[in-house]
Amino acid sequence: MAHTLSPPVAAEQHFVGSWQSRLLRSTLNNRNLTIGLLIITSLGLVALLAPWLAPHDPYLQNTANRMVPPIWHETGSWTHPLGTDRLGRDYLSRLIYGTRISLFIGLVVALISGLIGTTLGVLAGYFGGRVDAVVSYLLTTRLAMPVVLVALAMASLMGGSMLSVTLLLGLLLWDRFAVVARSATQQLRDAEYVQAAQALGCSLPYILLREVLPNIAGALIVVATLEVANAILLEATLSFLGMGVQPPSPSWGLMIAEGKAYMFFQPWVITIPGSALFILVLSINLLGDGLRDLSAPGGRNE
């Protein structure tokens, strides 16, 4: 009741404060978001601090020490907590360095494809008509292309490397960004503040960058998390099939491919990098789900 007597400014400050604490509270209440954020942050730290965290050089071969099982086996030892691979390289160190590859490719691919998809989608949504028809056509064509197959073929042409995989996936995975940006912009086009900006004679780049983009950013961030996860899975797939990141890089997909021959007798050689991939992608998806719930609490179906 006292608030009604306080001056408007104070009331506003009170509102801002409660907005922030509300955001914090809803973040903490959102279990998906909390778990996802926690795992992602720790894996990000692992990637950044890899040289200090890794117990061994991930590329150092030791033929005397091949296929040492992980610690939970009777013959395991703390020297190599997750064992060694067929060339005697420390599995834990390779796993730690592999985090860098997955996260780098995931983030850069999402950045490139986000740039392409958002540009196309915003233009299609804002101008409609012929621009929209062209973008929709590009989108249909892109969706009809089998991603894994095209990426495999192109990677084999360009020669598999981290750079070529990143570029390829960046050029291929823009579809969802375009779809979301297009429909979100369509809804915004008729919004009053956009029309006001048009009436005031604001320049087109100003309207698109200052009025449209900030308002569709929330939806795009959710798409971005999904695409990071998607790119990480695709990189692993390409590397697994031998057309992605090349040996001796410790890509998780490559580790699974290299372990495939031994998996019948030493299943941990594929279980460990596979679980790492699973946990990383799962946490990104949880983060994405959580962000979606946060940005659209009413649209939640749970």
Interface residues with another protein (CB under 8 A)?
Answer: 137, 140-141, 143-150, 152-154, 156-157, 229, 233, 236-237, 240-243, 253, 256, 260, 263-264, 267, 270-271, 274, 277-278, 281-282, 285-286, 289, 301-302
The two tokens of residue 181 are 């940006």
Residue 183 C-beta: closest distance to another protein, Å: 16
Residue 117 C-beta: closest distance to another protein, Å: 18
Which is nearer to another protein, 170 or 274 (by Cβ)? Answer: 274
Which is nearer to another protein, 147 or 213 (by Cβ)? Answer: 147
Residue 126 C-beta: closest distance to another protein, Å: 23
Q: Which of 181, 113, 108 is nearest to 147 (CA)?
A: 113
Q: Are 65 and 250 in contact, with CB atoms under 8 Å apart?
A: no
With H, G, I as helix, E, B as strand and everything else as coil, classify residue 246.
coil
CA-only gyration radius of the chain, Å: 24
Angstrom CA distances, 258 to 46, 70, 145, 225, 299, stand at 23, 17, 29, 29, 44
Task: Give ∠ CA 274-276-277 in degrees, rounded to 5.
Answer: 65
Residue 299 C-beta: closest distance to another protein, Å: 10
Which is nearer to another protein, 9 or 144 (by Cβ)? Answer: 144
Phi, then psi, of 84 in degrees rounded to 5: -130, 165
Residue 43 C-beta: closest distance to another protein, Å: 13
Which is nearer to another protein, 64 or 149 (by Cβ)? Answer: 149
The two tokens of residue 266 are 């030493």
As a whole number of angstroms, the distance between CA 268 and CA 272 comes to: 6
Q: Are 67 and 266 in contact, with CB atoms under 8 Å apart?
A: yes
Which is nearer to another protein, 39 or 197 (by Cβ)? Answer: 39
Which is nearer to another protein, 211 or 235 (by Cβ)? Answer: 235
Residue 124 C-beta: closest distance to another protein, Å: 16
